Copies of this chain bind each other. A is one copy, B any other.
């Protein structure tokens, strides 16, 4: 069975299993980014979060990010899993794992991936505060998309 590198799941994410997906004999560095549900944001307390995705397109966009990364950092291998549904404080929402022969590319490609997820992957977060709830808009505050659409290639 071909291992899926880009997934949207509804269950807790198995971090070591994701790391395993990018492990290679030629890789000396693996970076991971683990995005967790934070309790406090600018003085406001989150009780829980709800994530929704346009699943097939979200997976497709993660593969677009993979292609972009392969062009910029040719020796890297990347895997991403994003969880959706209801998540509590400290639950893991997203994990990105990148392997590379050398560490610099593993850091850079990983950070690039999370930035791009926040730009082009159709996943939405609903904050449930103590006193209300709201679907969050673009967290990058580049409202809306200046060029009329998210930049897919640079």
Interface residues of A (CB under 8 A from B): 15-16, 19, 23-41, 89-90, 101, 103, 106-107, 110-111, 114
With the chains together, A16 CA to B30 CA distance in Å? Answer: 14
Q: Which 8 pairs of residues, A with B, have the shortest CB-CB distance?
A: A28-B38, A30-B34, A25-B39, A32-B32, A107-B111, A25-B89, A31-B33, A26-B40
When all copies of this chain in the complex are counted, the total is 2
Q: Which of B27, B32, B39, B90 has a CB less than 8 Å from the CB of A36?
A: B27
Q: Mind listing 30 A-B residue pairs with CB under 8 Å?
A: A15-B16, A16-B16, A19-B34, A23-B36, A23-B90, A24-B90, A25-B38, A25-B39, A25-B40, A25-B89, A26-B39, A27-B38, A28-B35, A28-B36, A28-B41, A29-B33, A29-B34, A29-B35, A30-B32, A30-B33, A30-B36, A31-B32, A31-B110, A32-B32, A33-B103, A33-B107, A35-B103, A38-B101, A107-B107, A107-B110
Given contacts A16-B16, A25-B90, list 10 more A-B pairs with CB under 8 A. Answer: A27-B36, A29-B36, A30-B33, A31-B33, A31-B34, A33-B107, A35-B103, A38-B101, A103-B114, A107-B110
